[in-house]
A and B are shown apart, each in its own frame.
Chain A
Amino acid sequence: MNEPSTYQSALLHKARWRPLEFVVWAVAFALPFLMPSHSLLVNEIAIVALFAMSLDLILGYTGIVSLGHAAFFGFGAYTAALFAKLVMPDPTVGLLVATVLSAVLGLVASVTILRGSDLTRLMVTLGTALLLLELANKLDWLTGGADGLQGVVMGPVLGLFEFDLYGRTAAWYSLAVMLLLFLVMRRIVHSPFGATLKAIRDNRLRAMAIGIPVVSRVVVIYTVAAGIAGAAGALLAQTTGFASLDVLAFDRSADVLLMLVIGGVGWLYGGVAGAIVFKLLQNWLSAVTPQYWMFWIGLLLVLLVLVGRDRVLKPWTWLGKRKGSGA
């Protein structure tokens, strides 16, 4: 009856690739070919989508609210930029170094999120990001302070592909890294380990009672998420050849939270969908009303919550009855 193998096959079934997914990824990789002039946008979307997915690991799958995920994004960006400037210009090595160091930072920072309520976690995550922002601002001999870190020259990817002016190499590079890390994350969330994370999200006390080591699970996933966020930051710094204080700013944390919520939490493609919608919206709105983009994003947020996050994405449920009060 309830043999372990049935659960195992259920997990495996969930982890299986659908045909549509291959199409989506194929289209993504074809985009720089089809629309070379939009390569920079594709690159940007790939980066923020990766960033949003890393937040999803802790928010959507483990239920930890964070207002400071940009801490790791920015740390990765600065690490990659500094590594290219001071040590060597090879992007792959830089990416690896930035990812590992961000993960270490995540490991250190994870001690701050283990105790307390949602509010406490909001505050310490926000505090961590602000702390790094202040550091980057004050250590201007290293980071360039408010002017940003300039003069970052990147070598060709894998020694073969030079970054071109149109950003096609950049787009493919970011997409490839995103695909790779997406596979890693997918493996994580569909594993038994991922199932325990969801148990922690749904009921921390009960998870503890059935013997899930909550503390170590939270530490591990926070570290992984920090590393992936760092990788996203590194991609941004490498493809733009620039790192400034804005990678650590509060807006970044808020934006990525917003993307994830637009796309849907607890679903890796949610981060991708949210990033696409958010970036296209931002591009369009800031072309129409350059200054007041913030107003519309605020309005969107308010409506999103008032209507119910799930219902915005499923318009066919608008007429039906409302069930409970959200997730």
Chain B
Amino acid sequence: MLTILFDGIAYGMLLFVLAVGLAVTLGLMNFINLAHGAFAMAGGYLTVFAMQKLGVPFLACLPLAFIVVALAGALLERTLYRPMYGKPHLDQVLFSIGLAFMAVAAIDYFVGSSQQNIQLPEWLRGRTEVGDGALLLGMGHYRLFIIAVCAVLTVVLQLILSKTRFGSRLRAAVDDPRVASGLGINVNVVFLLTFAVGSGLAGLGGALGAEILGLDPTFPLKYMIYFLIVVSVGGTSSITGPLAAALLLGIADVAGKYFIPKMGAFTVYLLMILILMWRPQGLFTRKGGR
């Protein structure tokens, strides 16, 4: 029982890190970026490549994945994404899904379609068990590690968004770009940085999640739906919304697959539709703004 809960939380935390960048671009900047999963995949493949070919240790790969993918995100934002901000949602959907398709085919071409594995260091492979019977709690060390990393990230992100100067600039730029630029905020730079950090987080999530989620060229399409669920169900009030949604989704998915394996992912989709019919703007909406 507790093990399922634990695995669900770890899975949810992982989804959160993968999706939080999308929560920012989609939720705050109102840009539907279906190619978000491609950034995550890039992080995952980068880690595999760095570890296997260059012998970089796993822990060093994580920041590497973040930085490289963030740079790539910044480059793409400047060249391709920025003209899309003002376009209708349909255009954004088509554009970003086109990018995702290209990423899938490109990885297939260069790396091959087989699943890639990450060799975890020794100290992350074990498993600790506490209690017994129905209260047995088995904690994989790697999942514990994920939970710790994600918890730290969540706190840091929340502090940046709510307490720093950059956070308030971002919120201003999102609420009304024209007024914000009138106040001397360089909206373009704020959006560029935000997009880069969001992509970087996706890359980090991809690196962390490659072990649990599996890594093959269809990754962006396979998990796109999960990211979108996290964001649309969570709403955009702050990052607590997506966090709650990610945890809910993670636990529901793991528990659903454990208790009623016949239903598979059915539970998750049904849950999403019901929540969205109940609260179309997501569980936590932003008061004011738009």
Contact = CB atoms under 8 A, between A and B. Distances in A.
Interface residues of B, number: 45
B151 interface: no
Interface in B174-229: 221, 225, 228-229
B276 A120 contact: yes
A208 interface: no
Contacts of A120: 232, 276, 280-281
A253 to B, nearest CB: 10
Contacts of A67: 93
Nearest to A65: B90
Chain A, interface size category, equals 35 or more
Contacts of A257: 93-94
Interface string A153-171: 0000000000000000000
Interface in A195-239: none
Given A65-B93, A325-B86, A131 B105 contact: no
Chain A binding surface SS class: helix
Interface string A111-141: 1100111111011101110110011011000
A301 B104 CA distance: 14
B98 A292 contact: no
Nearest to B264: A134
A295 B104 CA distance: 7
Interface stretch (B56-64, B115-123, B153-161, B266-274): B266-274
A292 B93 contact: no
Nearest to A305: B95
B272 A291 contact: no
A67 B96 CA distance: 13
A292 B109 contact: yes
A298 B83 contact: no
B221 A301 contact: no
A122 B229 CA distance: 10
A127 B80 CA distance: 29
A297 interface: yes
Interface string A41-83: 0000000000000000001000001010000000000000000
A253 B101 CA distance: 14
B89 A119 contact: yes
Interface in B65-116: 80, 83-84, 86-91, 93-95, 97-106, 108-109
B262 interface: yes
B80 A297 contact: no
A134 B98 contact: no
A182 to B, nearest CB: 23
A270 to B, nearest CB: 14
B280 A305 contact: no
A294 B104 contact: yes
B26 A295 contact: no
Interface in A297-327: 297-302, 304-306, 309, 325-327
A131 B91 contact: no
20 contacts: A65-B93, A67-B93, A111-B277, A116-B280, A119-B89, A120-B281, A122-B89, A122-B93, A124-B277, A127-B269, A127-B273, A131-B270, A131-B273, A250-B225, A257-B94, A292-B108, A297-B101, A298-B101, A302-B98, A305-B95
Given A135-B266, A258-B94, A301-B101, 13 more contacts: A116-B276, A122-B89, A123-B228, A124-B273, A124-B276, A138-B263, A257-B94, A292-B105, A292-B108, A294-B105, A295-B106, A304-B94, A305-B91
